[in-house]
Amino acid sequence: MLPFVRPALLLLALPVGWAWQRFGRTGDWRTDGLRGALAALLIAAAAGPVADLSGEGTDVVLLLDRSRSMPADDAALAELVRNVDAARGPGDRLGVVTFGGRPAAERPLSAAAATGEFLYPIDADGTDLNAALHLALDLTDPRRPARLLTLSDGEANGPDPRDAARRARAAGTPIDVRPFPAVRSGDAAITALTLPASAAPGEPIAVGVEFVSLVAARGRVSLARREPGGPATALASREVDLPAGRGRVRFRDLAPADGFHLYTATLEVPGDPRSENDRGEAGLRIDAPRRVLLLREPAAGGGADGATGGGRIGRALAAAGIEVDVAAPGERPLTQDSLDPYGAVILDDVPASSLGRRKMTALVRFVEDLGGGLLTTGGRNGYALGGYFESPLDPALPVSMDLREDAQKERSAIVVALDRSGSMAVPVGDAGGGGRTKMDLANEGAAAAVAVLSRGDRAAVLAVDTAAEAIVPLTEIDAGAGRVAAAARGIVSSGGGIYVDAALDAAADQLDQAPDAATKHVIVFADAADAESPTNYVRPLERLRQMGATVSVIGLGSRLDSDAPLLEAVAAAGGGNVLFTDDPRELPRLFAQDALAVVTDTFVTAETPAGIPGEFAPGVALVGELGAGAFPGVGGYNLTELRDDASLTVRTRDQYAAPLAAAWYRGLGRVASLTFPLHAADDGGAPGPVGDWVGLNDFLLTHVRWLMSGGDGGGAYLTAEREGRTAAVTVELDPERADDDAGDELELLVVPPADDPDAGPPATPFPVDLRWDGPATLSGRFELELVGTYRTLLRRPGGLVTRGPPVSLPYSPEFLPRDDRPPGAATLEEIAALSGGVRRADVATVFNDPPPRPAPTALWPWFAAAGVGLLLWEIAGRRWQWALPWKAANEVVATPRTRERRAVAAPVRPEGSTGPPAPAVRQGPKANADDVFGAAKANAGRRL
């Protein structure tokens, strides 16, 4: 029987039924039936009908803490999930939510078996229990009984979880808890390392180490400083008595040379149960005029140390009073810290191989993320011939190295033979590999080699293990460039080793189909530790030599690998290059470099001593006023094209009208490129007449000063403080210049910690919203999601960048001391009590204690809706005289009875009679169909 909330109201049926019987009947069975049903529905709705729609069983959502401080690992938590799942009964459903700094719904409520596997990564350096509880409540169905079971240490460091507990109580969903005890007894930790906001070189500074200890103890505090680009140096260490509570130890130091220096402090306490929080760090930037770092090969100018070894550009900077450090690119570390003292870096005819991918990536970050300047110059060691095409530095330059049609004089045929042995299936890893394998990157290299070819050239791609397969036979680029590249990207590793002789034989077969090609070249890619030649590789090499082909080898590995001598011998006999790399991410650049060197010469050399003439671009150059009209001739230049949005400074006056000098803004920084050499080189490149130009020094200085002017910090002052896992930044503007720095043009950028490019993809700066706190004061806040040092920068109008102080998170927030907060177990028990839950030792019993079933679902809205439908039906039936589908076709509608006033004739006096008139005769109504239907409609209208 259907239950009612107010069953007494059902008695209204008696008086309503009597009234309907006495006064409401119309005589029409259809109208009377509908009106009776309508009255019954309205009375039932008023009585409050309800129904239990929750179904059978109970819903349970498990909340699993996977943060770094949790004693149980993922395997133990997965086992607990399977135990709870095994305890489910008929109709029971299980859901799973995992959480750290952010929650994730691993499994919605389901009656299917749980595997206990975790699919979503979590932020292990945080515990947002409040967000996890809210997500679990979102998964529940309010019509079914539900219970949450939280497995955690309770060491929450996000918003207060009691907010979610109150929501759970209001929803009737208790939160049970299973605490995992965290080790806290006797814990001592460093809470902060304090340094002055700035200092000058040699200035005495105070370094404060703040700590907290839960018990009185004796320990040792040590202080160290890491120099830019170098190892940490121990400064001081002392024994201290740690009181129960908070304390502070002071050290003194002399501010080191300019640049960014990282101070670290460590705490050693015997018996400390938690060593993860015994470390602190903070950064200090030493104020000094920013210098220039000049990177050039030692042989290019007579030494790599001191301004005298800096060649023409080094001497020009030194004469102008700009401090410059000269270094060999292969020996100089390039990190955020080591580049901090410099306003600009100059690459003076440096080949890409001397830098490598990691250092080129660091230079890009120096420009784009830290607002630095970069100047590139080059003879044959620069730009495309130097290996910069398809390198990390390529897109940062204002000139493009894409090969143009008119740079190639003759047609070429290239065969790329790729090692697809089993070793190529190894993933590159998370360090910038993006989940790709060695094979994937080798395929990209083949596509890069094809990309440098021009119309009319031909290319073939082979996949080789113990035999060679023509993935793409020799194809003319006109019709098949895209197909060749796409097919190359689809090669997969198949196992075995690579037979070099098989690769060379198959390459010769392909080149036999291009007898008219002026240039024929083979690129063999092989694992330097897994290459073989079962037969004599000399025979196919001799065959290639007779047809005028050269052979280059790109080896994955180093010259010390077991099969490197074989690859070197093949390249030497083939008359080509041999390039080794142990970084698979370098492969696309190396393939493009070798192909470019063979098919074309992008360095244009002057044919006369007067050099190749140039001219200044019209208008004012981006770098400043340089002059107008003719530019001195150059002995040669690298053929490039000006990129969109770049500013042309000088161009050639030849058939190419190519850039000799160009500049642009890149990210937060600035980049300028000089495509001609500044000094003579062993390969024959010479500066030409421009080397004797009296205005060359001013020309170079103008570029360098423009590159360094982006770091002008005048007019703004930044401070930053860490509050737990949140950093607060304050920006104070010069009141006299505040109007110039419009609020919508100020941008606060934060560079996350990722000093080593191998630690992952390069860190991308993220913006922070600023709000005005006063006429010249702004503030912003951001979360510290990674352990390490964050750098703050303020982008201002005019391309200016102000460097702010760094903010450090020395260790995971999971290990922050909780001396001012209750233990995690107490937090969990408070949540359980607030929501009506219990502390549960055996998680498998959670289904044995179902919570109260939710309130029955009210059905009165449905009854009321049905009543409204019946009312409309009854009105429509009367309106249209029950012209319903089921009405019989021959059924006659009753004619409504209307009261007609009959016409009465006036009394008639007989003609000629003097007596009274004869009585009037009443006349009957005329039978008119229109009057009948009109009366019926009027009667129906009155009823409505």
Q: Does 99 fall in a domain?
A: yes
Given pLDDT bands bounded at 50, 70 and 90, which one contains residue 884?
very low
- Residue 89: CA atoms inside 13 Å, Cβ hemisphere, count? 10
Q: Is the dihedral of CA 623, 627, 632, 638 positive or negative?
A: positive
* Predicted local confidence at residue 739, as pLDDT: 57
Residue-wise pLDDT tens digits, 357-403: 889 988 998 898 888 999 999 888 889 888 898 889 999 999 998 76
Least confident of 28-42, 657-671, 746-760: 746-760
Q: What's the per-residue H, E or C state across 279-338?
A: EEEEEEEECCCCEEEEECCHHHCCCCCCHHHCHHHHHHHHHCCCCEEEECCCCCCCCHHH
Residue-wise pLDDT tens digits, 226-240: 876 667 889 999 999
The answer on pLDDT for 762 being more than 80 is no
Indicate whether 72 and 43 sit together in one domain.
Answer: no
The answer on pLDDT for 60 being more than 80 is yes
The answer on pLDDT for 305 being more than 50 is no
* Predicted local confidence at residue 527, as pLDDT: 86
Indicate whether 537 and 621 sit together in one domain.
Answer: no
Got the DSSP string for 337-350? Answer: HHHTTEEEEEEES-
The answer on pLDDT for 222 being more than 90 is yes
Helix (H, G, I), strand (E, B) or coil at 409: coil
Q: Does 481 fall in a domain?
A: yes
Polymer length in residues for the chain: 944
Q: Strands 204-213 and 669-674, how do they pair?
A: unpaired
The proportion of the chain whose per-residue pLDDT surpasses 70, expressed as a percent, equals 84
Domains: count for the chain: 6
Q: Does 608 fall in a domain?
A: yes
Give the residue, 294 or 305, on which the prediction is more confident: 294
The first and second tokens of residue 511, run together, are 């080149």
- End residue of a domain, out of 659, 694, 711: 711
Got the DSSP string for 456-493? Answer: T-EEEEEEESSSEEEEEEEEEHHHHHHHHHHHHHT---
The answer on pLDDT for 941 being more than 70 is no
| Whole-number average pLDDT of the chain | 82
Q: Does 895 fall in a domain?
A: no
The mean per-residue pLDDT over the stretch 597-601 comes to 80
CA dist 455 and 457 (Å) reads 6
Q: Which contiguous run of DSSP H or E holds residue 732?
A: strand 726-733
Indicate whether 49 and 86 sit together in one domain.
Answer: no
Q: Does 940 fall in a domain?
A: no
Amino acid identity at 909: R
Indicate whether 559 and 483 sit together in one domain.
Answer: yes
Got the DSSP string for 113-159? Answer: PP-----S---TT---HHHHHHHHHHHS-TTS-EEEEEEE-----SS
Q: How far is CA 373 from the centre of its chain?
A: 26
Q: Strands 245-254 and 232-242, how do they pair?
A: unpaired
Indicate whether 493 and 580 sit together in one domain.
Answer: yes
Given pLDDT bands bounded at 50, 70 and 90, which one contains residue 93?
very high
The answer on pLDDT for 681 being more than 70 is no
Indicate whether 443 and 587 sit together in one domain.
Answer: yes
* Predicted local confidence at residue 892, as pLDDT: 44
The answer on pLDDT for 104 being more than 90 is yes
* Predicted local confidence at residue 702, as pLDDT: 92
Q: Does 758 fall in a domain?
A: yes
Residue-wise pLDDT tens digits, 5-29: 788 877 877 887 787 777 767 777 7
CA dist 484 and 6 (Å) reads 79
Q: Strands 373-377 and 342-348, how do they pair?
A: parallel
* Predicted local confidence at residue 37, as pLDDT: 82
Indicate whether 576 and 638 sit together in one domain.
Answer: no
What sections of 666-720 are H helices per DSSP? 696-708
- Where would I find the beta strands (DSSP E) of 353-457? 373-377, 399-400, 412-419
Q: Does 897 fall in a domain?
A: no
- Where would I find the beta strands (DSSP E) of 826-921? 857-858
CA dist 56 and 358 (Å) reads 61
Amino acid identity at 348: D
Give the residue, 42 or 182, on which the prediction is more confident: 42
Give the residue, 98 or 21, on which the prediction is more confident: 98
The answer on pLDDT for 321 being more than 60 is yes
Q: Which contiguous run of DSSP H or E holds residue 361?
A: helix 352-368
Per the CB < 8 A criterion, the answer to whether 694 and 750 are in contact is no
Cβ neighbors of 744 (< 8 A, separation 6 or more) are none
Indicate whether 96 and 210 sit together in one domain.
Answer: no
Indicate whether 720 and 707 sit together in one domain.
Answer: no
Provide the domain limits for residue 641: 293-401+604-711
Per the CB < 8 A criterion, the answer to whether 808 and 787 are in contact is no
Least confident of 182-186, 784-788, 929-933: 929-933
Residue-wise pLDDT tens digits, 322-368: 899 999 988 888 888 888 889 999 999 899 988 888 899 889 988 98
CA dist 372 and 583 (Å) reads 27
The mean per-residue pLDDT over the stretch 123-135 comes to 91
pTM of the complete model: 0.72
Indicate whether 125 and 224 sit together in one domain.
Answer: no
Indicate whether 73 and 47 sit together in one domain.
Answer: no
Q: Which residues pair with 772 in a beta bridge?
A: 778
Q: Strands 498-499 and 468-476, how do they pair?
A: unpaired
- End residue of a domain, out of 286, 321, 337: 286
Indicate whether 656 and 637 sit together in one domain.
Answer: yes
Closest CA to 903 of 925, 919, 884, 882: 925
The first and second tokens of residue 110, run together, are 């389901």
What CATH number does the domain containing 414 carry?
Answer: 3.40.50.410
The mean per-residue pLDDT over the stretch 306-310 comes to 52
The mean per-residue pLDDT over the stretch 266-282 comes to 89
CA dist 492 and 506 (Å) reads 19
Q: Which residues pair with 718 in a beta bridge?
A: 731
Residue-wise pLDDT tens digits, 617-633: 887 678 888 878 899 99
Q: Does 855 fall in a domain?
A: no
* Predicted local confidence at residue 336, as pLDDT: 80
Residue-wise pLDDT tens digits, 789-843: 898 888 877 667 888 888 998 888 888 877 667 788 889 999 999 999 999 988 8
